[in-house]
Structure 1
Amino acid sequence: MSEKSIAHGNRVTKTVRLSLSLAGPGLLICLFCIAPLEAQSVSGRVLDDFTNRPVAAATVTLLNAELATVGAASSSEGGFFQLRMPAAGSYTLRVQRIGYEDHEGRAFEVAAGEHVEVELRLSPEGVHLDPLVVLARRSFEPGREGFARRRDLGRGLFLDMITIAVAEPRVTTDVFRGLEGVQVVGAVRGGLLHFQLGSMRGHRCLAVFLDHAADPIMIQRSPTAPRLEPGVGEIRGGIGGGGGALRSEAPPEFDGWVYGSLDQLVDPSSLRGVEVFRDWTEVPDELRSGLRARHLFQGGPCGVVLVWTEIGW
């Protein structure tokens, strides 16, 4: 296991690389965990060490110092997972998938109130890799505190619980309708209409993050010439009274990439707050560095959307 520390202001992020190997041709996974985030927590992503692509459908189990199970999650299509620790101490992550050997990483320490981010890299050919790597450590900050602090900076758009409730969203993307400089773009995928987010400013790309995840749900660049079609999908106007939806026959990535649909991942009833920084000039300094910043130049530099649910709030 290798570690490096990176200073971000007065915060130090410790980076460790973790990899696991799988015997045989298989898939590796990680997923968004739905346990509420309080005090100590761990989140991360499972990647194929050779292709660098996310691995889905794996079970990530959290073990304490006595190797007793204290939490588990199934990795998502984008390879993300998130788990809460009951207390400070030593923990181990185990990854399992049908048809492959079980794999356990090295133990890592978690301090009280600390959030740990890890990267799990698996080899589908049974090549031995370093078993586990911790990506980053930081003091845990509830989403509502960061939301309030960034709102005081006076840049971007902020939707609190009252604003969201007034919109009466049927799906999560409804809360973005009518926001100045933001597009809700529809595209047909698998015979179904899916809505994604786009920006009308700067480089016209947005990186969308869910709660405390270091990796985005999606990074998208808006179509260069969107066509407004009122009433697409019979969706209401939403916040600001903007009616209709922008529809494109392009694939849902729109020259970007998508790990999941925001409407599929987040039920609107779980929303607690939304932060929208439509272009790079609005993105706060704290989001321009650290683990999240590495994703902001895919179409870039991109704007940022932070979606807060009851899990991270």
Structure 2
Amino acid sequence: MDTIVRTTSVTARWLAVAGVVCVLALPPALTAQQQAWETFDGPRVEGRVIEAVSGEPLSAAAVRVVSEDGQQVFGSGYTDDRGLYRLIILADADDLGVPVVVEAGRLGYRVSISEPFELDPDGVVTVPDLEVQPEPVMLDTLEVRRRAHWSYIAPPRERVLERQLQGQGTFLAGASINAARDRTITESIANRIEGVEFRGGARAGSGRLQSLLGRRCLVVLVNEWPAGHGAINRLRREHIGAVEVYREWNEVPEELRHHILNQPGSSAPPLCGLVNIWLWDSWNRGIQVPDG
């Protein structure tokens, strides 16, 4: 089926970063996300990325779902060896009517962008095949520093352990969230972290986390990707592997601060704290499971 897509230069910043990640660490297998995909009851997006010249599937392509203006990221991942991707979308209810597009690309290819569409609040949107055009590139000299790339190379458990050893933040095991009997996941986090409170919303399942320290604001990430407060209660408790909470700017690790400074819609974002939720598929990446 012929598909009309837009293309942009591979020099886009997000793809350059994603390409370095591909070189340093292969993306996790799609099968690790299968259980979360099948049981998630919110919006999801799936599709395929192919090489425009040969028509062959393109593996390890970076894919993300963004608002049409590019200011909000709702989900991201990589294609498998068949060129397929499946993305769980973490968006506030107010954002579900916003037109979104899928962007796909890989180093050596131009970024391909789908036609705009709207998310299905309770189902799957299948996006027509995205064709990416080859485009040889010359990379600038890459200066490798251990600290700068630690968050990309090390598995999540090792990254969090290093933060704990440095005395940064407060941490919750996913089991404690799963066993909690609070109405919402947001309340379960607030009730177990000193210096964090739950501020209820008008609608059932709404509300947000607020710090009692610093500027009181908290930025929410899922698997170290911006998600928003409304995304927390769209998760299932059993999918949560761990939660790390940094109540104010001074507690936030250096490698996570860019998520706060790059918040869209503000030229001078407040220096907030941060909550990062690890889902099991990412939390277990790099863990060897013994045979038998």
Sort the TM-score into its range (normalised by shorter chain).
0.5 to 0.7
Q: Which amino acid aligns with 1:277?
A: Y
Query: Which residue of 151, 159, 184 maps to 2:172?
Result: 159
SS in structure 2 at match of 1:188: coil
Task: Note closer, same or farther for the CA distance 1:64–1:283 as it changes in structure 2 (3 Å cut).
Answer: closer
Task: Note closer, same or farther for the CA distance 1:41–1:293 as it changes in structure 2 (3 Å cut).
Answer: farther
1:207 is matched with: 219
SS in structure 2 at match of 1:158: strand
Q: Which amino acid aligns with 1:3?
A: T
Once the 2 structures are TM-superposed, how far is the Cα of residue 91 of structure 1 from its aligned partner?
Answer: 10
2:142 is matched with: none
More helix as a share of residues = 2
Task: Note closer, same or farther for the CA distance 1:200–1:71 as it changes in structure 2 (3 Å cut).
Answer: same
Q: Which amino acid aligns with 1:303?
A: G
Task: Note closer, same or farther for the CA distance 1:155–1:75 as it changes in structure 2 (3 Å cut).
Answer: closer
1:281 has 2:289 as partner: no
1:217 is matched with: 228
Alpha carbons 1:195, 1:263 under 8 Å: kept: no
2:262 is matched with: 294
Normalising to structure 1: TM-score of the pair? Answer: 0.50
1:223 is matched with: none
Distance 1:80 1:177 in 2: 37
Distance 1:139 1:55 in 2: 19
Alpha carbons 1:92, 1:105 under 8 Å: kept: no
1:237-291 Cα shifts (integer Å, max 9, x gaps):
xxxxxxxxxxxxxxxxxxxxxxx34112x111111110100000101111124x5
Distance 1:152 1:276 in 2: 15
Query: Which residue of 3, 7, 32 maps to 2:11?
Result: 3
Distance 1:60 1:97 in 2: 16
SS in structure 2 at match of 1:187: coil
Once the 2 structures are TM-superposed, how far is the Cα of residue 155 of structure 1 from its aligned partner?
Answer: 1.9
Q: Which amino acid aligns with 1:217?
A: G
1:128-156 Cα shifts (integer Å, max 9, x gaps):
xxxxxxxxxx8454322222121111021
Query: Which residue of 202, 205, 208 maps to 1:188?
Result: 202
Once the 2 structures are TM-superposed, how far is the Cα of residue 308 of structure 1 from its aligned partner?
Answer: 0.8
Point out where structure 2 has 5 or more consecutive residues left out of the alignment: 1-8, 21-42, 47-59, 119-126, 136-150, 284-292
Alpha carbons 1:64, 1:91 under 8 Å: kept: no
Q: Percent identity?
A: 23
Task: Note closer, same or farther for the CA distance 1:53–1:286 as it changes in structure 2 (3 Å cut).
Answer: closer
SS in structure 2 at match of 1:148: helix
Query: Which residue of 22, 35, 47 maps to 2:67?
Result: 47
1:306 is matched with: 276
Q: Which amino acid aligns with 2:132?
A: R
Distance 1:60 1:161 in 2: 22
Alpha carbons 2:64, 2:103 under 8 Å: kept: yes
Task: Note closer, same or farther for the CA distance 1:284–1:156 as it changes in structure 2 (3 Å cut).
Answer: same
Distance 2:103 2:236 in 1: 17
Task: Note closer, same or farther for the CA distance 1:5–1:261 as it changes in structure 2 (3 Å cut).
Answer: closer
Aligned runs of 1:27-42 on 2, under 5 Å?
42=62
Distance 1:263 1:146 in 2: 25
Matched positions, count = 206
Aligned runs of 1:1-313 on 2, under 5 Å?
1=9, 3=11, 13=17, 42-49=62-69, 54=72, 69-73=83-87, 77=91, 95=114, 104=130, 106-107=132-133, 139=152, 141-165=154-178, 167-168=180-181, 171-173=184-186, 174-189=188-203, 192-213=204-225, 215-218=226-229, 260-264=230-234, 266-289=235-258, 293-295=261-263, 300-313=270-283
Distance 1:293 1:199 in 2: 18
Distance 1:275 1:211 in 2: 11
Task: Note closer, same or farther for the CA distance 1:76–1:280 as it changes in structure 2 (3 Å cut).
Answer: closer
Task: Note closer, same or farther for the CA distance 1:147–1:205 as it changes in structure 2 (3 Å cut).
Answer: same
Point out where structure 1 has 5 or more consecutive residues left out of the alignment: 7-11, 17-30, 35-39, 110-137, 219-259
Distance 1:275 1:90 in 2: 36
Alpha carbons 2:244, 2:275 under 8 Å: kept: yes
Normalising to structure 2: TM-score of the pair? Answer: 0.53
Task: Note closer, same or farther for the CA distance 1:82–1:75 as it changes in structure 2 (3 Å cut).
Answer: farther
More strand as a share of residues = 1
Distance 2:12 2:83 in 1: 29
1:112 is matched with: none
Once the 2 structures are TM-superposed, how far is the Cα of residue 303 of structure 1 from its aligned partner?
Answer: 0.4
